[in-house]
Amino acid sequence: MNDAVRPARWLGGVALALAGTLLVASCAKGNDSATTGAKGDAAAVGTQTPSVSAHGGHGGHGGTFSAPPAAPLRPSERFVNVKLAEPYRPAAPAGGTDEYRCFIVDPGVTEKAFLTGSQFLPQNSAIVHHAIIFRLDPDKVQAARDLDAKTPGEGWTCFGDAGLEGSGWVGHWAPGANETLLTEKVGYPMPPGSQLVMQIHYNLLASRGKPAESDQSSMRLRLTDGKTDLKPLQTGQLPAPIELPCTAQESGPLCDRDAAVKDVVQRFGAQAGETVTGLNEFCNKGKPPVAGTTQHCDTKFPAKATIYATAGHMHLLGRSIKIEMNPGTPKARTLLDLPSYDFDDQAIRPLPKPVEVKPGDVFRVTCTHDAGLRRQLPALQGLPPRYVVWGEGTSDEMCLGLLVMSPEETPRA
């Protein structure tokens, strides 16, 4: 398998087209709204002080979410508010505790515009784990409406991606991540008639055995009038496999890798197993998976691009995550280093200066997980120990680096 090309459907199925090749995407967290700092112009290489409390809670759950005050509008910008058409009561399928549900919302774009910021507002933070925002071009909107119409209840089930071809990732939210505004003149293109899909991950671990709660989340969008031409943004994703065995003190049927993979497939469908297999084939160059606490993956970049910000995402067993560019060479540099990963702080980190990327540059994401944290986390207590592989659920794991970037070859709106 060529380093510059990956299958379009594995890893949750979200594929980012880039100069005729693919960088694979997946479920993610953080918020990559597109443009000057609600938190200020933070440095990009974020580090955190090690803390036991970094793993003591379940990001954003159990309390009322309150977004920080919005940064002032800049010239040509306006706010547009959208929300779910009606409350939705999630129900996890296949005996699991997680549901991914997609909802189409209309920002009312009638003329050329750019999305330069977004603030997702979870109405029920006790069950909303994260959200990803996808753009639908006008010619894809009817397919989304048809899918919504034929699915019982509001929206449709959508593990991995939006369940629609041609949907583009334009924003996301997770604990600790709010509107991040870049100072550069950049934004996500919003052609006239385009709409958005909010993919919301509902985590029902805390409500096991209780009546399901409902949610009617909303979102505040920052749109330009389109008169100023901005550099178009895309969100690139750098995944690595998870092969985390049970600790020496743990035992049980799911500590067997094959049984654990079958369990993920049962809860999330065949694509979940394809993701586990595809990640290992790509990242390990066809070699068998090797169990361990630390895994990494190298991705060769296929085109010229400018990177403006980074972020990293893991679940509750995550200890550290790093994104490196051209590791092991004289051009090596670190773009993100979180030596003590905090699930409650998944903010986008703007780089001090944009980084120019050339075809052939290599990006490495490295993650360390700790199965011993299962004994410490209230959210995971009562669940059977398992060999952990890549999975969509809160009790599963991920290793994902995010790049907020502008590829040279991407056409403008």
User: Over the stretch 222-259, which tens digit does the pLDDT of each residue have?
Assistant: 999 888 889 999 989 899 999 999 999 999 999 999 99
Domain with residue 315: its CATH number is 2.60.120
Residue 258: C-alpha distances to residues 113, 166, 275, 363 (Å): 48, 33, 14, 30
Strand pairing partners for 128? 202
Residues 262 and 226 in one domain: no
Residues 240 and 229 in one domain: no
Tell me whether residue 327 is exposed, middle or buried, using C-beta atoms within 10 angstroms of its C-beta: 0 to 12, 13 to 18, 19 or more: middle
Residue 42 CA to residue 182 CA, distance in Å, equals: 10
- In the chain the first and final C-alpha atoms are separated, in Å, by 32
Please report whether residue 32 resides in a domain.
yes
Please report whether residue 398 resides in a domain.
yes
- Predicted local distance difference test score (pLDDT) of residue 64: 66
Asked whether the CA dihedral 15, 7, 361, 328 is positive or negative, the reply is positive
- The answer to whether 196 touches 82, Cβ cutoff 8 Å, is yes
Nearest of 337, 313, 334 to residue 324 by alpha carbon? 334
Residues 246 and 215 in one domain: no
Please report whether residue 53 resides in a domain.
no
What range defines the domain where residue 115 resides?
25-41+61-233
Residues 289 and 215 in one domain: no
Residues 210 and 248 in one domain: no
Last residue of a domain, one of 207, 233, 259: 233
Residues 271 and 380 in one domain: yes
Residues 301 and 156 in one domain: no
Last residue of a domain, one of 233, 251, 266: 233
Residues 224 and 320 in one domain: no
Q: Would you state the structure tokens that stand for residue 237, as one six-digit string? A: 């994703």
> Structural domain tally of the chain?
2
Residues 337 and 367 in one domain: yes
Residue 290: C-alpha distances to residues 263, 280, 281, 317, 400 (Å): 19, 9, 12, 18, 18
- Predicted local distance difference test score (pLDDT) of residue 68: 84
- Predicted local distance difference test score (pLDDT) of residue 22: 28
Residue 399 CA to residue 238 CA, distance in Å, equals: 8
Question: What are the average pLDDT values for consecutive 10-residue runs of the chain, which has 413 residues?
Answer: 29 28 32 33 29 40 72 95 95 83 96 94 90 92 94 88 82 82 91 95 78 91 90 92 97 98 93 94 93 97 94 93 98 97 87 96 98 89 92 91 84 46
Please report whether residue 213 resides in a domain.
yes
Please report whether residue 47 resides in a domain.
no
Please report whether residue 4 resides in a domain.
no
- Predicted local distance difference test score (pLDDT) of residue 169: 83
Residue with tokens 């970037």: 405
Please report whether residue 3 resides in a domain.
no
Last residue of a domain, one of 210, 233, 256: 233
Phi, psi of 258 (to 5 degrees): -60, -40
Q: Would you state the structure tokens that stand for residue 102, as one six-digit string? A: 């997609």
Domain with residue 223: its CATH number is 2.60.120.310
Residue 300 CA to residue 159 CA, distance in Å, equals: 27
Residues 120 and 215 in one domain: yes
Q: What is the dihedral of CA 258, 263, 268, 271, to 10 degrees?
A: 10
Give the model confidence (pLDDT) of 4-51 as tens digits.
Answer: 223 323 233 222 222 222 233 333 333 333 333 333 332 222 223 333
Residues 94 and 218 in one domain: yes
Residues 169 and 241 in one domain: no
State the chain's maximal CA–CA distance in angstroms.
62
Q: Please compute, for residue 309, the number of CA atoms within 13 A of its CA located in the half-sphere on the CB side.
A: 29
Residue 27 CA to residue 279 CA, distance in Å, equals: 14
Please report whether residue 351 resides in a domain.
yes
